[in-house]
Structure 1
Amino acid sequence: MDHAAFGWLTPLLSYVMACIGAALGLRCTVRALSATGRSRRNWLLTAASAIGTGIWTMHFVAMLGFATTGTEIRYDVPLTILSLLVAMIVVGAGVFAVGYSRDRARALVLGGLTTGLGVASMHYLGMAALRLHGTVHYDPLMVGLSVLIAVVAATAALWAGLNIKSPVAVTVASLVMGAAVSSMHYTGMFAVSVHVTPSGASLPGATAMQFIFPLAVGLGSYLFLTSAFVALSPTAGEREASASAQRPVESAAH
């Protein structure tokens, strides 16, 4: 098996996507905690979609570099899309738990556990979507380690969302989170062994370039555009400062 058929391109690009998703999710969570009502809900939804999309894109960009000698690899389309939905829904549950709970410590533990298990579920659902000539086996110890890394990474991400406010700190946290998510992915991949059964039969599903690559590009574009929107939108503090600056002007006009 080869986990980097294109050299360092796919591991590096997948890490970048994980970092962007984490950074955007953390910034949205920070915005949510300083907002109320519908605005808080919308920021949390954006955070969940960003983190879920970033993790999913990281996984499948990395999978573009996965190859096994003696067999082609295809992907079951419905299962692959299901893995994306699972990532966003379960990450959303964890983010909302932290965003609305009054007991932050309890929410952090439950949210981290839920989100981490969701990330692991996304990974192994994505692996279940693999179609190849042969059978896939897993090392239980490495699988368990990958799940543990996912839970720890998710808990750390939610903790960062609650406690880290400055853009510089968010950037550092997102780099660490990107490394943690990438570690979880490759730990899970090292748990895999493939017993190839050569066959001339055609495999069901879509190739990575037919399906995974276009979808990853689309989701990556979503992350970049949403990042630009979040970066350009004023924070609650900036809006208050702007409103305060306008009040003396309005008073003078009257």
Structure 2
Amino acid sequence: MSGDIDGFTYGAVTPTAAFVMAALGSSLGMRCLTRALHPRSAFRPGWLTLGAAATGCGMWISHSVAMMGFSIGGTHLTYDADRSFLGLGVTIAVVGVGLFVAGYLGRSPAGLGVAGVITGAGVAAVHFTGMTAVRTSGRLLPDRAMVVLSCVVAVVAATAALRAATGPRTARSSLVAGPLLAAAVTGTHYTAMYALSYRPASAAGDAHSHPSIPTLLPLLTAPVFMLLLTALVLSLDPFVHGGETMRADRAQPAVERAGRGK
């Protein structure tokens, strides 16, 4: 029917693809965080910056893919490209602050809590800044209670992901943290979209006239390239591999014991 909102136009395809892309970007980002915490890390700020870029791009791609399954009956949707890319920048910046807090203070409960809240805010940012780029002939009205709930989902899942990533510094930790953060991204998106309502232009009286594009697909090139670049950098670093990292972590206490015994 006209005005009816459907977030699953292509069934389970878009939610599944959105989760996979968020998990990919988040796993790469959490692996960079794990690498930054390595006892022999030579350039922690660089790894954290790379992790923020990968995580933010993965989140943004996930939101863009999820929006491909979003439709409103009888209404044509377009997207403001400038606002979409602004959302990408905001997400990377906010997530970056969260990862830097986790990278330097995340092993303490207070540091992990602060990092979780900030990273959760980044998860929420990718959705809500992305929604400001949607152009319709009417107005999209979010339900405030569901907005609050979606932000809670984002913070809780983001904190759990950072806890996993800053725990045992192994490849397995980032493989656990990535899907947790992906759950935050997709959970936030679909929770916020659940109670979204649409008011036609005839009732709202404010149809949009901004220049826009019909789909977000052309904008995915740069973020996808960023994920590929991150994967390449990680694959070339010898200390990223689980065995190397675990041996380094286990060797550290032994060195300290040997020093105390002298």
Output the TM-score relative to the length of structure 1. Answer: 0.84
Cα deviation per residue 1:7-49 (whole Å; 9 max; x = unaligned)?
3222111111100011101111111011567611110101111
Structure 1 distance, partners of 2:141, 2:183, is: 25
Matching of residue 84 in structure 1 with residue 88 in structure 2: yes
Cα deviation per residue 1:163-209 (whole Å; 9 max; x = unaligned)?
0423234323322332232111100111311122379x885332343
Contact 2:35/2:41 (8 A) holds in 1 = no
Match of 2:69 among 50, 53, 65: 65
**Corresponding residue for residue 245 of structure 1:** none
**Corresponding residue for residue 148 of structure 1:** 152
Matching of residue 49 in structure 1 with residue 63 in structure 2: no
Contact 2:35/2:47 (8 A) holds in 1 = yes
Structure 2 distance, partners of 1:184, 1:208, is: 24
Contact 1:132/1:203 (8 A) holds in 2 = no
Structure 1 distance, partners of 2:106, 2:172, is: 27
**Corresponding residue for residue 204 of structure 1:** 210
Structure 2 distance, partners of 1:115, 1:172, is: 17
- Offset at 1:2? 1.4
Structure 1 distance, partners of 2:41, 2:171, is: 24
Contact 2:136/2:208 (8 A) holds in 1 = no
Structure 1 distance, partners of 2:27, 2:74, is: 39
In the alignment, residue 19 of structure 2 is paired with which amino acid? Y
**Corresponding residue for residue 225 of structure 2:** 221
Structure 2 distance, partners of 1:54, 1:102, is: 22
In the alignment, residue 226 of structure 2 is paired with which amino acid? Y
Structure 1 distance, partners of 2:54, 2:184, is: 16
CA 13–217 in structure 1, closer or farther in 2 if over 3 Å, else same? farther
CA 208–228 in structure 1, closer or farther in 2 if over 3 Å, else same? farther
Count of aligned pairs between the two proteins: 238
In the alignment, residue 187 of structure 1 is paired with which amino acid? T
Matching of residue 127 in structure 1 with residue 131 in structure 2: yes
Structure 2 distance, partners of 1:37, 1:234, is: 11
User: Unaligned stretches of 5+ in structure 2?
Assistant: 248-262
- Offset at 1:102? 7.9
CA 100–168 in structure 1, closer or farther in 2 if over 3 Å, else same? closer
Structure 2 distance, partners of 1:231, 1:20, is: 14
